[in-house]
Amino acid sequence: MLRIINVVGARPNFMKIAPVIDEMRRRPARIQSLLVHTGQHYDESMSDSFFEDLQIPRPDINLEIGSGSHSEQTARIMIAFERVLLEHPADWVVVVGDVNSTMAATIVAAKMNVRITHVEAGLRSRDRTMPEEINRVVTDSLADLLLAPSRDAVENLLREGVALEKIRFVGNVMIDTLFRNLEQARGSRILERLKLQPGKFCAMTMHRPSNVDDKETLSGILDALETLGERLPIVFPVHPRTRDRLEQFGLGERVRRQVSLVLTEPLGYLDFLHLYSNSRLVLTDSGGIQEETTVLGIPCLTLRENTERPITVTEGTNKLVGNNPESILQTALAALDHFAYGDARPARVPELWDGHAAVRIVDALEQASPK
């Protein structure tokens, strides 16, 4: 019997672990799994609603770490997770994505000689000012089994000297979750609630420190949104970090007064899926949304200078626009002129983004386990 501890912490982890847990539960004679939530994200809208929407089992253990500086958060997770591993001996710790919880759990497991599987290994933005890049590099350097979502990720790992036998190309597990929930998301009432018509609005998300932690940058992005809003309303579910910064910089009143900005709390998975899949254009600085829009063929502008997911640009609908207001605006207007709604560039769905990554992930784990 394989004893596996799955670790999640923040919003983008939940949609990656859901199909993996499901698949593990299909193999009860061989796999016994525990779910640990670090509590990095704790708001109803950032955490609980995802467990409900995605029917993820309630975590067996919640470390209730909460917010803090990077070092505080990482250290608190390490202290608490070490106790978990002492009390619950495991053959594998499975971590997903690139958040602080991913790296913290990995360091603890490595020091306790517990084997580590990293789901979504090998992504690199090559931008070390990005906290997630540090988390990716550290996690991949310690992991024993590296499960890559794309071939470029495999190449990154090989270039860094990771042994080929530790790497498997399994595809993108977020897309499993996307396909499983498309039908159910059609039942969402979010368009009615926000009084929106399919194809007649843009969807926007933004929370990266590089966009929201500097007043001038944030205010420049708002300038671009103001002009773009003259063409189409922009729906903007506001991440807690962004909300805090807007208030701190005295920009809260400005966004609330802007009629073309439809502000909401962060949305649950199904509501957000229904929202962006009916939007004309997506603007984002998220990682996962670049992938989801690629699969659905929705034009996406990424407000970053680089991406760890280059395949969404080379094969998908993604364009990097940075955070210069003029370049955001011009590219957004060009996209609106170029793509009619429902007529986006037919997305070439990247290899193995096929809805079956979780099976390959759990197969790889079983194959890599000593008999």
Residue 244 binding ligand UD1, by CB under 6 A = yes
List 27, 34, 42, 368, residue binding ligand UD1 (CB under 6 A): 42
- For 130: left if phi > 0, alpha if psi spans -120 to 50, otherwise beta; the answer is beta
Amino acid, res. 235: V
CB 136 within 8 A of CB 123: yes
CB 268 within 8 A of CB 49: yes
Other C-beta atoms within 10 Å of 62: how many?
15
Query: What distance in Å separates the CA atoms of residue 41 and residue 93, rounded to the nearest whole number?
Result: 20
- Judged by CB under 6 A, the chain residues 74 through 133 that form the site for ligand UD1 are 98-100, 131-132
List 199, 240, 252, 322, residue binding ligand UD1 (CB under 6 A): 240
3-state helix, strand, coil in the chain (%, to 5): 45, 15, 40
Minimum Å distance from CB 277 to ligand UD1?
A: 20
- Residue with smaller CB distance to ligand UD1, 150 or 242: 242
Task: Pick the stretch among 25-33, 141-149, 234-242, 334-342 that binds ligand UD1 (CB under 6 A).
Answer: 234-242
Task: Pick the stretch among 9-17, 222-230, 328-336, 338-346 that binds ligand UD1 (CB under 6 A).
Answer: 9-17
How far is residue 45 from each of residues 65, 70, 104, 272, 291, measured CA to CA in Å?
17, 22, 23, 12, 22
Residue 241 binding ligand UD1, by CB under 6 A = yes
Minimum Å distance from CB 266 to ligand UD1?
A: 8
List 118, 136, 207, 309, residue binding ligand UD1 (CB under 6 A): 207
Name 95's bridge partners: 7, 118
CB 2 within 8 A of CB 31: yes
Minimum Å distance from CB 285 to ligand UD1?
A: 9
Minimum Å distance from CB 242 to ligand UD1?
A: 9
- Judged by CB under 6 A, the chain residues 133 through 192 that form the site for ligand UD1 are none
- Judged by CB under 6 A, the chain residues 320 through 339 that form the site for ligand UD1 are none
Query: What distance in Å separates the CA atoms of residue 324 and residue 219, rounded to the nearest whole number?
Result: 11
- Annotation says 207 is catalytic: yes
Residue 72 binding ligand UD1, by CB under 6 A = no
- CB-based contacts of 306, cutoff 8 Å, min separation 6: 125, 126, 127, 320
Task: Pick the stretch among 6-14, 308-316, 320-328, 355-363 that binds ligand UD1 (CB under 6 A).
Answer: 6-14
Residues catalogued as catalytic: 207
Where does this chain bind ligand UD1 (CB under 6 A)? 10-12, 40-43, 46-47, 67, 98-100, 131-132, 207, 239-241, 244
